[in-house]
């Protein structure tokens, strides 16, 4: 079913410029706009048959969202024959499988199915800092178009012994990691014949969330469709610097490259109150200040608040009670309780462990019925002590589940087994893991009414009726490792992303004392971003409670 396009969406659909930059902050209708853009390119013949449109995303969820919207505008045969939608790893894997021979890649090379580098670090008993440095060094080594030999040469520098060992093991095993995929794809596209083939095959490229591109991924996009690419996204949502993204550098390069820019300035997702909170951070995030497309339609104008607590446990109990009360007032609503990290959210998880309303933890396995039954049966019989003492506990678990012989839902089973492994290794019992398995699909469960527990990065691209951000202390947000102007700006973007998930209302909460992993209390200060947040004039706890108590919940539930 189609919707009536906004003026900005029509402009994107009807733009004849082959290169287009779409600045689309959260809640402005970006996915719909991209679907319209692709429909316009094909309908006008800007991409002439048999050429196709290549659509690239960063996640399977985003890929599926765009494909679903395209179904509303394109006949099934046209969507199948004229549009390719894939995430970046998928595009890179396609290039390697089809043309790996041009750079000497063996036909039997093993493609990544999990975080093999992280797994090897655990097996070698590397501590947290060593593991993090190994992953960082390997990522940096592979974000330039280096051959295998050049990667090894880079890693032979003093101080890089651990990542060198992992890389040598990878080569000896004849396997690839996720960092290898774009590296090898870029090397393959350096071959003029391959690049010409892809230029001829794809008449246009559409990039979703351009701010999350690494410079390497931008080079790959330009090798395929320079001058014929639509970039869509928002600098304020660039939160993947830890994965090699460079939002400021890429944003400037894309602006220099594109001949036309369309900028959204109206939000169709959030109330004026929520937008005021998000806009207060725009000076730090580089984002566009937004207005509500229909401000009068939001009961009470929405709600914005910040709340201080003495302890993290007290904060968690308060957040749990507030979330439950919101669901009791509006059973069809979704409440997101978001923290910068999972460990900081653990207090809320505990406070809601016996809640009678539906609670969904986004870091739990979400699987189909068959996979759920298999996992539950496996966990009832599993000898956890034997598994943990095995040379490779993950392989032990996969063998116990007959993973190698699985034919359907293999990706789902692999991810679920990885999840089980991580919980069991961290000390969870088999019974506790079994109780956390939910049946469904990622798409259905994340849209269910109830309370949703998640972290800032996993919630990107989603929305909730209400958002409660917990753990808003310096050292958590911004993260204690953020020291430079660039990394502090990215932390502000993480906070902006968390706030902008909300429709009706958003609450920012912090504690003055948070226990460490050993239970010892640590004094905390509220996040430095409160200086900016304060310009939005948020309600205090008493004002927020009054707003909630006097609101028209029938109107709120219907919005």
Mean pLDDT of the chain: 92
Q: Residue 96's pLDDT band (boundaries 50, 70, 90)? A: very high
Report the pLDDT value the prediction gives residue 443, as an integer from 0 to 100.
Answer: 62
Contacts of 173 (CB under 8 A, 6+ apart): 110
Report the pLDDT value the prediction gives residue 5, as an integer from 0 to 100.
Answer: 86
Instruction: Give tens-digit pLDDT for 48-77.
Output: 999 999 999 988 778 888 999 999 999 999
Residue 125 predicted with pLDDT over 80: yes
Q: Residue 440's pLDDT band (boundaries 50, 70, 90)? A: confident
What sign does the CA torsion over 96, 99, 101, 107 have? positive
In the chain, pLDDT over 70 holds for what percent of residues? 98
Residue 365 predicted with pLDDT over 80: no
CA 252 vs. chain centroid, Å, equals 22
Question: Region 439-452: what's the mean pLDDT?
Answer: 79
Report the pLDDT value the prediction gives residue 123, as an integer from 0 to 100.
Answer: 85
Nearest to 551 by CA among 282, 329, 356: 329
d(CA 368, CA 516): 37
Residue 239 predicted with pLDDT over 70: yes
Report the pLDDT value the prediction gives residue 363, as an integer from 0 to 100.
Answer: 82
Instruction: Give tens-digit pLDDT for 335-345.
Output: 999 999 999 99
Model confidence, pTM? 0.86
Contacts of 118 (CB under 8 A, 6+ apart): 131, 135
Q: Residue 128's pLDDT band (boundaries 50, 70, 90)? A: confident
Report the pLDDT value the prediction gives residue 108, as an integer from 0 to 100.
Answer: 93
Report the pLDDT value the prediction gives residue 242, as an integer from 0 to 100.
Answer: 83
Report the pLDDT value the prediction gives residue 534, as an integer from 0 to 100.
Answer: 96
Report the pLDDT value the prediction gives residue 74, as an integer from 0 to 100.
Answer: 95
d(CA 356, CA 374): 27
Residue 441 predicted with pLDDT over 60: yes
Residue 326 predicted with pLDDT over 80: yes
The answer to whether 262 touches 8, Cβ cutoff 8 Å, is yes
Instruction: Give tens-digit pLDDT for 393-416.
Output: 888 999 999 888 776 667 778 888
Tally of CA atoms within 13 A in the half-sphere of 236 that contains its CB: 25
Instruction: Give tens-digit pLDDT for 170-206.
Output: 999 999 999 999 999 999 999 999 999 999 999 999 9
């Amino acid at each position: 079913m189609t919707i009536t396009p906004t003026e900005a969406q029509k402009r994107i659909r009807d733009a004849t410029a082959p290169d287009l930059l779409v600045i689309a902050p959260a809640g402005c209708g970006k996915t719909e706009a991209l679907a319209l853009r692709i429909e316009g390119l094909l309908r006008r013949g800007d991409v002439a048959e048999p050429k196709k449109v290549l659509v690239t995303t960063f996640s399977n969820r985003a890929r599926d969202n765009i494909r679903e919207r395209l179904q509303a505008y394109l006949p099934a045969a046209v969507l199948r024959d004229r549009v390719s939608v894939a995430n970046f790893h998928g595009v890179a894997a396609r290039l390697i499988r089809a043309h790996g021979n041009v750079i000497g890649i063996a036909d039997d090379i093993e493609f990544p199915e999990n975080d093999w580098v992280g797994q090897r670090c655990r097996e070698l008993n590397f501590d947290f800092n060593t593991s993090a440095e190994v992953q960082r060094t390997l990522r940096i080594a592979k974000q330039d178009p280096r051959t295998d030999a050049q990667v090894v040469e880079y890693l032979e520098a003093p101080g890089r012994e651990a990542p060198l060992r992992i890389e040598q093991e990878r080569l000896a095993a004849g396997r690839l990691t996720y960092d290898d995929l774009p590296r090898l794809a870029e090397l393959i596209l350096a071959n003029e014949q391959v690049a010409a083939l892809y230029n001829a095959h794809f008449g246009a490229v559409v990039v979703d969330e351009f701010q999350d591109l690494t410079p390497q991924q931008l080079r790959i996009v330009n090798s395929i469709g320079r001058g014929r690419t639509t970039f869509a996204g928002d600098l304020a949502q660039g939160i993947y610097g830890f994965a090699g993204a460079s939002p400021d550098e890429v944003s400037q390069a894309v602006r220099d490259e594109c001949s036309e820019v369309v900028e959204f300035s109206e939000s169709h997702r959030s109330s004026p109150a929520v937008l005021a909170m998000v806009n207060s951070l725009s000076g730090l995030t580089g984002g566009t200040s937004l207005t509500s497309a229909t401000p009068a339609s939001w009961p009470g104008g929405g709600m914005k608040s910040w709340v201080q607590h003495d302890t993290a446990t007290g904060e968690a109990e308060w957040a749990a009670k507030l979330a439950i009360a919101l669901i009791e007032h509006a059973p069809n609503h979704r409440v997101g309780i978001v923290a910068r990290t999972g460990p900081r959210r653990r207090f809320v998880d505990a406070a809601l462990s016996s809640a009678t309303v539906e609670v969904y933890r986004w870091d739990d396995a979400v699987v189909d019925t068959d996979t759920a039954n298999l996992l539950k049966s496996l966990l009832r019989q599993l000898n956890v002590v034997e598994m943990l003492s095995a040379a490779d506990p993950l392989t032990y678990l996969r063998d116990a589940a007959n993973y190698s012989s699985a034919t359907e839902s293999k990706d789902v089973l692999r991810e679920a087994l990885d999840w089980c492994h991580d919980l069991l290794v961290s000390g969870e019992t088999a019974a506790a893991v079994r109780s956390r398995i939910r049946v469904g699909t990622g798409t259905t469960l994340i849209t269910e009414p109830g309370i949703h527990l998640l972290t800032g990065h996993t919630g990107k691209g989603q929305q909730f009726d209400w958002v409660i951000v917990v753990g808003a202390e310096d050292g958590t947000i911004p993260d204690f490792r953020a020291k430079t102007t660039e990394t502090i700006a990215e932390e502000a973007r993480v906070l902006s992303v968390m706030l902008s998930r909300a429709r009706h209302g958003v609450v920012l909460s912090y504690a003055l004392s948070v226990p460490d992993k050993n239970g010892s209390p640590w004094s905390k200060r509220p996040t430095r971003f409160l200086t900016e947040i304060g310009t939005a004039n948020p309600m205090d706890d008493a004002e927020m409670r009054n707003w909630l108590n006097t609101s028209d919940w029938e109107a709120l539930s219907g919005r």
